[in-house]
Structure 1
Amino acid sequence: MRDLQRVDDRFVETAPLRFTNSVDLAITPEQLFDVFHDAEAWPRWVKALTEVVWTSPRPFGPGTTRTVHLRGRIVGEEEFFTWDEPRRIAFRFNAVSTRLVTAFSEQYDVEPVPGGCRLTWSVGIDVPDALRPPMRLVHGGLDALFASFLRRLRRYTDARLDN
């Protein structure tokens, strides 16, 4: 594992590579947090994930940790620095098994809207200097990938309502 820069909640706004996408969901913010709590749910909508393991006991809050396994045999150790249920969670990767990133953070903002809630997902990434030019070239593709994860989340939460 390789230690990453310990970023805070401002990183998703200042990172060299930033992505923000939103989706309206037909569930309440509390129901969305039930999905966030469920380790088995994450790989169903974030297709880059193969496994999520909470490494902190409940109740979750700031300082909660988990280990995520991603495609390509990448492993990340995450720490949540914000847990304000049912409005916001944010975490950073403290360590990762690849040299492709130097800092990584995600923030999930949830607001009630008529008929459910709106999730805004922001991602901040920094990479080694040599990778910055090619990452800028694939920025649009990564943004489309992140947006597709939110469409998958919508299908996942809609299916849960049908059961």
Structure 2
Amino acid sequence: MTTRWYPVEECDDSLLTSASVYLTRTVDVPYPAEETWAALTDDSGPAHWTKGVKRLTWTSPRPFGVGTTREVETVGGFALRERFYRWDEGHRKTFTVVGSTHNVFKRLVEDYVVESTPEGSRLTWQWAGDLHRPWSFMKPVLKKLVLEPTAESHIGGLPAHMASTH
């Protein structure tokens, strides 16, 4: 059976200030920035610690950079295709979603920034999206029941994951 992919409109940083749905999280990690970056870019990355993420597949060869692509599949069978339009190795990466197996997102961007701190590092994450109808009418419920819990496990779960690998 062939998976149907719906196009998602490519976008850039302007969505971070204009999106109808916006989430941001920051977490301090007691490990150096290099290790935090490595955890975010390993072969399965957030699939190790993010609730709801079943599989993450990099579809571009290393070394990663602008234009790198990957696919993310959730436990419920929802999948996204992503293309990175920013890649500042060791510091920042930002992608736009370009395809989805469900016609939910009109536009979607995720941004990750890793910075050194005296105690280790800090990850700042932003997620911004615009939804198609009828999902746009269910925005408050979708945000509270799906997006916010996933974001919390995605960002909040990183330090525990890194501790389990040390």
The normalised TM-score by structure 1 is 0.90
Structure 2: distance between partners of 1:73 and 1:138? 17
Inter-CA distance 75–138: structure 2 relative to 1 (3 Å threshold): closer
Q: Relative to 1, partners in 2 of residues 1:145 and 1:42: Cα closer, same or farther, differing over 3 Å?
A: closer
Percent identity for Structure 1 against Structure 2: 28
- Cα distance in 2 between the residues matched to 1:144 and 1:107: 18
Secondary structure of 2:25 counterpart: strand
Alignment of 1:36-51 (within 5 A): 36-51=40-55
Q: Distance in 2 between matches of 1:91 and 1:14?
A: 16
Query: Which digits, 9 at most, give the CA deviation of each residue in 1:29-81, with x for residues without a partner?
Result: 11112112212232112222111111111110010011111121112111011
Match of 1:86 among 87, 90, 97: 90
Structure 1 partner of 2:24: 20
1:53 to 54, 57, 75: 57
CA distance in 2, matches of 1:39, 1:13: 30
Preserved CA contact (<8 Å) 1:81 1:90: yes
What is the number of equivalent residue pairs in this alignment? 161
* Residue of structure 2 equivalent to 1:76: 80
Cα distance in structure 2, aligned partners of 1:157 and 1:151: 11
> CA separation in 2, counterparts of 1:76 and 1:148?
18
Contact 2:51 2:153 in 1 (8 A): no
Matched, 1:147 2:152: yes
- Range 134-143 or range 20-29, more displaced: 134-143
| Equivalent residue, structure 2, for 1:157 | 162
1:93-112 paired onto structure 2 within 5 Å: 93-112=97-116
Q: Distance in 1 between matches of 2:122 and 2:30?
A: 9
8 Å contact 1:26–1:157 — kept in the other structure?
A: no
C-alpha separation between the residues in 1 aligned to 2:133 and 2:72? 25
Matched to 2:148, the amino acid is: D
Structure 1 unaligned runs (5+)?
Answer: none
Aligned position for 2:7:
3
| 1:138 CA displacement | 4.2
**Structure 2: gaps of 5 or more residues:** none
